[in-house]
Chains A and B, each alone.
Chain A
Amino acid sequence: MVTLPAAEAPARGAMTPEPYRVAARTQETADTRTLVLEPLGAPVLPAAGQFNMLYAFGIGEVPISTSGDPALEGPLVHTIRAVGAVTEALCASEPGAVIGVRGPFGTSWPLAEAEGADLVIVAGGIGLAPLRPAVYHALAHRDAYGAFCLLVGARTPGDLLYSQELEGWRGRFDAEVGVTVDSAVGEWRGRVGVVSRLIPDAAFDPGSAVALVVGPEIMMTFTARALLERGIPKERIYLSMERNMRCGLGHCGHCQLGPMLICRDGPVFRYDEIEALMEVREL
């Protein structure tokens, strides 16, 4: 029997979308945009790993993780891949357009708990977006952590998010940044192969490291296995899960995964809490 904690709804913006104006829109890849959203009311400060429900008025609402610097109060930053009607509408929002925002919702990355440990961040595809706030935080508090490894996988070089920032992080002497793509044409001189292949050679101490992983679920499964093989225990591997989140408050049940409601109990889970549920095909 699993006892679930009581839902802790945000004080405002929980059920009624708050208006935000699109202050800037950046094209990241062919189908992905980053929106900077300025609050027309009081700002909220989401923690790294949390998500908001973004509402394209008249079309619908989708859960999108925050991807901005968690230390900056004010504008929200969301990176969105156009994969359906709502996300296409959000990606098409011009600066000046107003969209609705509910949130922030969900659990966050255990950045305070990981202090003193090596930090291993593994991102697949657009999974780098929910991890970018953790990267910002760790690099801004670099002395609080041991080794810092950021391992990024993408489908092709053209699908890499935040490529200029990646170059900047890679240029630091106190960070290891590994990038690989599934296939490449042309002048790509980096690695080609799955992201989990970067794990055996990454410079971290599995005896102390904490791993944060986001990507498609199958990628997270392979990555978790590779991290376990390296010696990081399940209790120090964290994943961000995705399901059909609708209310964001744990009321509607759309995002149920066994006894868990992803919007309320997640999206960030410890691997030992979620591993068995990920293996149930019916879920």
Chain B
Amino acid sequence: MHTLDELLAESPVFAGLEPDQLEFIAGCAQNVAFEQGRRLFREDDPADTFYLVRRGRVALSTHVSARGDVTIETIEPGEIVGWSWLFPPYTWHFDARAVEDVGAVAFDGACLRGKCEADHALGYELMRRFAQVMIDRLQHTRMLLLDVYGHASRS
């Protein structure tokens, strides 16, 4: 049986943080589970939580009229769902749904923002790590925007 801070230490986004920092972050976290098909959050709802996926798959989607819900990305174990909790107006930009049964660690965004304000070293470290997550997602999104298969003639 792992404690929450031990679980966090094994995840790529929190690996390498000091034990006291992990314990600090774990104070804002709890284990959660979502059955297949359950929604983690909905577009425009308040973004007061984010998730570290431990098992299962989460789909980020948005509703497009005449097309329905379009999945734009899936989040896999070890990856983070959500960064809207970091920036005003703290509302979600997409829907998130459990494609499979999902186990995750849920973080209280307001709690963590408060701890980052109180401990700027921790705040900087978290911002740096979330910036990396955002850059990775941005690069993947740019690659998707190229629509490489739509214009390919490869046979």
Contact = CB atoms under 8 A, between A and B. Distances in A.
Contact of B149 (A62, A190, A216): A216
Interface string B56-83: 0101000000011111111010000000
Given A64-B155, A81-B155, A155 B149 contact: yes
B71 A188 contact: yes
A133 interface: no
Nearest to A79: B155
Q: Which of B68, B71, B143, B155 has the most CB of A within 10 A?
A: B155
Contacts of A197: 140
B154 interface: yes
B152 to A, nearest CB: 4
Contacts of A76: none
Interface string A54-71: 000000001111000000
Interface string B80-111: 00000000000000000001100000000000
A115 interface: no
Contacts of B153: 81, 83-84, 242
A7 B140 CA distance: 41
A237 B96 CA distance: 36
B148 A215 contact: yes
B99 A183 contact: no
Contact of B148 (A87, A189, A218, A242): A218
Interface size range of chain B in the complex: 20 to 34
B20 interface: no
B144 interface: yes
A63 B76 CA distance: 39
B120 interface: no
Given A189-B100, A191-B76, A197-B140, A155 B150 contact: yes
A130 to B, nearest CB: 8
B70 A125 contact: no
Contacts of B70: 183-185
A222 B144 CA distance: 12
B1 interface: no
Given A125-B149, A183-B144, A218-B146, A192 B155 contact: no
A54 to B, nearest CB: 9
Interface of B: 57, 59, 67-74, 76, 99-100, 140, 143-144, 146-155
